[in-house]
Structure 1
Amino acid sequence: MTLHDVALDDKFDLAKERIFLSGAQAVIRMLLMQRECDRRAGLNTAGFVSGYRGSPLGGLDMQLWKAKKQLAQADIVFQP
C-alpha cells in the first residue's frame, strides 16, 4: 500500500487529485473547477453566489466565508 501526502488545506488546490472535504466544500471546489474549465476554454468568466446566513444548506455560507481568499482569486463573489 502506498501512502500519499494529503492535507486538509488541499481541498481547494485544483492541482491535487486526492483530497478530503465535506459536501459544502465540494460545492466550493466545483465553483473553482468550473472557473478553471472556463479559463482553459478561453473564456473570461466570474461567479456570483448569494444566499442568507443560517440557510438550510448545512453551513455552505460558513464554508464560503472560509474560502473567501480562494474564491476572490478565481473572481467568484459570495454575497449573503
Structure 2
Amino acid sequence: MDNPTIEAPLTAEELSGILPLHPETIRKWAREGKIPCVRLSARRVVFLPSKIRTWLESRNGYTDNAGRTAPTEQEKAA
C-alpha cells in the first residue's frame, strides 16, 4: 500500500518567507477565514503548503514568478 505524501505544515513566520505578508497579517487572515489554515488549538494555527498553493491559484488566477499573488483592488486601495 502506498503512503500518501505527508507535507510539513508551515507556521505564520515560515509562510511569511514565501508570501509578501507579515506573520501577524497571516495570523489575522487565518482568524478571519481569509487564508486556509489548520487550527491546532485556540491560539495555534499552521498552514498546509498544498492548501496555500490552491488558495494562491484561486486568487485572480495569477501568481508572479516568486509565487506572490497580484494585489486585489481592495489590497491596492489599502
Bigger share in helix:
1
TM-score when scaled to structure 1? 0.21
Bigger share in strand:
1
